[in-house]
Amino acid sequence: MSEQPLVETIVVGPLQVNCYVAACPKSGEALVVDPGDEVVRILAVIRTKGWRVAGIVNTHGHFDHVGGNRALAEATGAQLLIHALDLPLMERAQLHAQIYGLTAEVSPPPDRLLADGDTIPFGELTCRVIHLPGHSPGGVVLLCGGHLFAGDVLFAGSIGRTDLPGGDHQTLVDGIRKRLWCLPGETIVHPGHGPDTTIAREMRSNPYVAGLVD
Protein backbone atom coordinates (compact mmCIF):
# COMPACT_ATOMS: atom_id res chain seq x y z
CA MET A 1 0.00 0.00 0.00
CA SER A 2 1.23 3.51 -0.78
CA GLU A 3 2.21 5.84 2.02
CA GLN A 4 -0.76 7.08 4.03
CA PRO A 5 -1.08 10.40 5.85
CA LEU A 6 -1.05 10.70 9.60
CA VAL A 7 -4.39 12.22 10.63
CA GLU A 8 -5.30 14.18 13.75
CA THR A 9 -8.85 15.40 14.45
CA ILE A 10 -9.63 18.52 16.49
CA VAL A 11 -13.33 19.21 17.10
CA VAL A 12 -13.77 22.99 17.15
CA GLY A 13 -16.37 25.70 17.59
CA PRO A 14 -19.98 25.80 18.74
CA LEU A 15 -21.11 23.66 15.79
CA GLN A 16 -18.51 20.98 16.57
CA VAL A 17 -16.68 21.01 13.26
CA ASN A 18 -14.06 18.36 12.65
CA CYS A 19 -10.82 20.13 11.79
CA TYR A 20 -8.29 17.67 10.39
CA VAL A 21 -4.53 17.85 10.20
CA ALA A 22 -3.12 15.41 7.63
CA ALA A 23 0.66 15.04 7.68
CA CYS A 24 3.27 13.31 5.56
CA PRO A 25 5.03 10.81 7.85
CA LYS A 26 8.40 11.35 6.20
CA SER A 27 8.60 15.12 5.84
CA GLY A 28 6.25 16.33 8.55
CA GLU A 29 4.55 18.69 6.10
CA ALA A 30 0.84 18.93 6.77
CA LEU A 31 -2.46 20.19 5.43
CA VAL A 32 -5.06 21.65 7.76
CA VAL A 33 -8.59 20.97 6.56
CA ASP A 34 -11.45 23.22 7.75
CA PRO A 35 -9.98 25.23 10.65
CA GLY A 36 -13.37 26.51 11.76
CA ASP A 37 -12.41 27.91 15.17
CA GLU A 38 -10.14 27.45 18.20
CA VAL A 39 -6.90 27.94 16.32
CA VAL A 40 -4.87 27.86 19.53
CA ARG A 41 -5.87 24.22 19.98
CA ILE A 42 -5.11 23.39 16.35
CA LEU A 43 -1.67 24.96 16.60
CA ALA A 44 -0.98 23.11 19.84
CA VAL A 45 -1.51 19.76 18.07
CA ILE A 46 0.69 20.79 15.15
CA ARG A 47 3.51 21.97 17.40
CA THR A 48 3.34 18.93 19.63
CA LYS A 49 3.72 16.70 16.58
CA GLY A 50 6.53 18.84 15.16
CA TRP A 51 4.69 19.30 11.86
CA ARG A 52 4.86 22.23 9.43
CA VAL A 53 1.70 23.50 7.75
CA ALA A 54 2.04 23.50 3.96
CA GLY A 55 -1.54 24.52 3.22
CA ILE A 56 -4.95 25.35 4.67
CA VAL A 57 -7.87 23.86 2.74
CA ASN A 58 -11.54 24.70 3.13
CA THR A 59 -13.85 21.96 1.87
CA HIS A 60 -16.50 24.67 1.49
CA GLY A 61 -17.15 28.26 2.50
CA HIS A 62 -19.65 28.01 5.36
CA PHE A 63 -18.72 30.09 8.39
CA ASP A 64 -18.23 27.16 10.76
CA HIS A 65 -15.50 25.74 8.50
CA VAL A 66 -13.60 28.94 7.67
CA GLY A 67 -13.70 30.94 10.91
CA GLY A 68 -10.11 30.13 11.87
CA ASN A 69 -8.56 30.82 8.46
CA ARG A 70 -7.10 34.20 9.31
CA ALA A 71 -5.51 33.28 12.63
CA LEU A 72 -4.06 30.05 11.25
CA ALA A 73 -2.71 31.65 8.09
CA GLU A 74 -1.10 34.44 10.11
CA ALA A 75 0.46 31.96 12.54
CA THR A 76 1.84 29.59 9.91
CA GLY A 77 2.26 31.59 6.70
CA ALA A 78 0.55 28.75 4.84
CA GLN A 79 -1.44 29.26 1.67
CA LEU A 80 -5.24 29.19 1.83
CA LEU A 81 -7.18 27.12 -0.72
CA ILE A 82 -10.89 26.89 -1.58
CA HIS A 83 -12.97 26.08 -4.65
CA ALA A 84 -13.76 29.13 -6.78
CA LEU A 85 -17.53 28.64 -6.54
CA ASP A 86 -17.50 28.88 -2.74
CA LEU A 87 -15.52 32.10 -2.60
CA PRO A 88 -18.76 34.15 -2.20
CA LEU A 89 -19.75 32.03 0.81
CA MET A 90 -16.34 32.56 2.39
CA GLU A 91 -16.61 36.31 1.85
CA ARG A 92 -20.04 36.43 3.56
CA ALA A 93 -19.17 34.02 6.38
CA GLN A 94 -19.26 36.66 9.10
CA LEU A 95 -22.77 37.76 8.06
CA HIS A 96 -23.99 34.17 7.92
CA ALA A 97 -22.66 33.50 11.42
CA GLN A 98 -24.56 36.50 12.76
CA ILE A 99 -27.81 35.07 11.41
CA TYR A 100 -27.31 32.13 13.78
CA GLY A 101 -26.31 34.36 16.68
CA LEU A 102 -22.65 33.37 16.33
CA THR A 103 -19.43 35.08 15.28
CA ALA A 104 -16.77 34.25 12.72
CA GLU A 105 -13.51 35.98 11.91
CA VAL A 106 -13.34 37.47 8.43
CA SER A 107 -11.23 35.17 6.26
CA PRO A 108 -8.35 36.51 4.20
CA PRO A 109 -8.70 35.97 0.45
CA PRO A 110 -7.51 32.57 -0.78
CA ASP A 111 -4.08 32.18 -2.30
CA ARG A 112 -5.30 29.47 -4.66
CA LEU A 113 -8.69 28.65 -6.14
CA LEU A 114 -9.32 24.93 -6.54
CA ALA A 115 -10.98 23.05 -9.37
CA ASP A 116 -12.01 19.44 -9.86
CA GLY A 117 -9.02 17.18 -10.44
CA ASP A 118 -6.46 19.50 -8.88
CA THR A 119 -3.80 18.03 -6.63
CA ILE A 120 -2.47 19.51 -3.41
CA PRO A 121 1.03 18.34 -2.42
CA PHE A 122 2.27 18.07 1.13
CA GLY A 123 5.63 16.45 1.64
CA GLU A 124 5.77 13.26 -0.41
CA LEU A 125 1.97 12.92 -0.49
CA THR A 126 -0.81 14.57 -2.46
CA CYS A 127 -4.54 15.12 -2.06
CA ARG A 128 -6.80 14.95 -5.10
CA VAL A 129 -9.63 17.47 -5.24
CA ILE A 130 -13.07 16.11 -6.14
CA HIS A 131 -15.67 18.82 -6.76
CA LEU A 132 -18.92 17.58 -5.29
CA PRO A 133 -21.59 20.30 -5.09
CA GLY A 134 -25.04 20.00 -3.54
CA HIS A 135 -24.36 21.11 0.01
CA SER A 136 -22.73 24.22 -1.43
CA PRO A 137 -21.84 25.17 -5.02
CA GLY A 138 -18.10 24.78 -4.56
CA GLY A 139 -18.00 21.94 -2.07
CA VAL A 140 -15.05 19.59 -2.46
CA VAL A 141 -13.82 16.38 -0.91
CA LEU A 142 -10.13 15.54 -0.67
CA LEU A 143 -8.79 12.07 -1.42
CA CYS A 144 -5.43 11.36 0.23
CA GLY A 145 -4.45 7.73 -0.18
CA GLY A 146 -7.03 5.70 1.69
CA HIS A 147 -8.48 8.75 3.45
CA LEU A 148 -11.35 10.93 2.22
CA PHE A 149 -11.88 14.31 3.87
CA ALA A 150 -15.55 14.73 3.05
CA GLY A 151 -16.50 18.12 4.47
CA ASP A 152 -20.28 18.33 4.74
CA VAL A 153 -20.92 16.08 1.73
CA LEU A 154 -21.14 12.68 3.44
CA PHE A 155 -21.56 11.79 7.11
CA ALA A 156 -21.86 8.56 9.04
CA GLY A 157 -25.48 7.68 8.35
CA SER A 158 -26.38 10.97 6.70
CA ILE A 159 -25.50 13.54 4.03
CA GLY A 160 -25.05 17.30 4.07
CA ARG A 161 -28.11 19.52 4.34
CA THR A 162 -29.27 20.96 1.04
CA ASP A 163 -31.74 23.62 2.18
CA LEU A 164 -29.12 26.37 2.41
CA PRO A 165 -28.54 28.87 -0.43
CA GLY A 166 -26.79 27.11 -3.30
CA GLY A 167 -27.76 23.65 -2.08
CA ASP A 168 -29.46 20.99 -4.20
CA HIS A 169 -30.44 17.56 -2.91
CA GLN A 170 -30.38 15.66 -6.18
CA THR A 171 -27.05 17.14 -7.18
CA LEU A 172 -25.54 15.99 -3.90
CA VAL A 173 -26.99 12.48 -4.09
CA ASP A 174 -25.92 12.07 -7.71
CA GLY A 175 -22.41 13.30 -6.91
CA ILE A 176 -22.00 10.85 -4.05
CA ARG A 177 -23.20 8.00 -6.23
CA LYS A 178 -21.01 8.85 -9.21
CA ARG A 179 -17.87 10.16 -7.54
CA LEU A 180 -17.58 8.35 -4.20
CA TRP A 181 -19.13 4.90 -4.59
CA CYS A 182 -16.36 4.03 -7.06
CA LEU A 183 -13.74 4.40 -4.31
CA PRO A 184 -12.43 1.33 -2.46
CA GLY A 185 -14.84 0.24 0.24
CA GLU A 186 -12.16 0.43 2.92
CA THR A 187 -11.58 4.15 2.24
CA ILE A 188 -11.87 5.99 5.57
CA VAL A 189 -14.33 8.87 5.42
CA HIS A 190 -13.51 11.83 7.67
CA PRO A 191 -16.69 13.96 7.71
CA GLY A 192 -17.08 17.59 8.64
CA HIS A 193 -19.12 16.66 11.71
CA GLY A 194 -19.47 13.46 13.68
CA PRO A 195 -17.54 10.18 13.67
CA ASP A 196 -15.46 8.60 10.92
CA THR A 197 -16.99 5.97 8.69
CA THR A 198 -16.05 4.06 5.51
CA ILE A 199 -17.29 4.07 1.94
CA ALA A 200 -18.45 0.45 2.28
CA ARG A 201 -20.45 1.16 5.43
CA GLU A 202 -22.24 4.12 3.87
CA MET A 203 -22.97 2.27 0.64
CA ARG A 204 -24.52 -0.49 2.70
CA SER A 205 -26.48 1.39 5.35
CA ASN A 206 -26.73 5.16 4.77
CA PRO A 207 -30.50 5.75 4.41
CA TYR A 208 -30.02 8.70 2.06
CA VAL A 209 -27.75 7.05 -0.48
CA ALA A 210 -27.38 3.34 0.36
CA GLY A 211 -27.52 1.08 -2.67
CA LEU A 212 -27.42 3.95 -5.16
CA VAL A 213 -25.02 2.37 -7.63
CA ASP A 214 -25.17 2.14 -11.41
Confirm if 75 and 68 have CB atoms less than 8 A apart: no
**Which residues, listed in sequence order, are joined to residue 189 by a DSSP beta bridge?**
148, 197
Q: What is residue 149's DSSP assignment?
A: E
Q: Does domain 6-205 have CATH number 3.60.15.10?
A: yes
Q: What per-residue confidence (pLDDT) applies to 165? A: 87
Q: Hey, is 7 helix, strand or coil? A: strand
149/153 Cα distance (integer angstroms): 9
Q: pLDDT tens digits, residue range 103-138?
A: 999 999 999 999 999 999 999 999 999 999 999 999
Task: List, for the chain, all residue ranges whose pLDDT scores fall below the cut of 50.
Answer: 1, 214
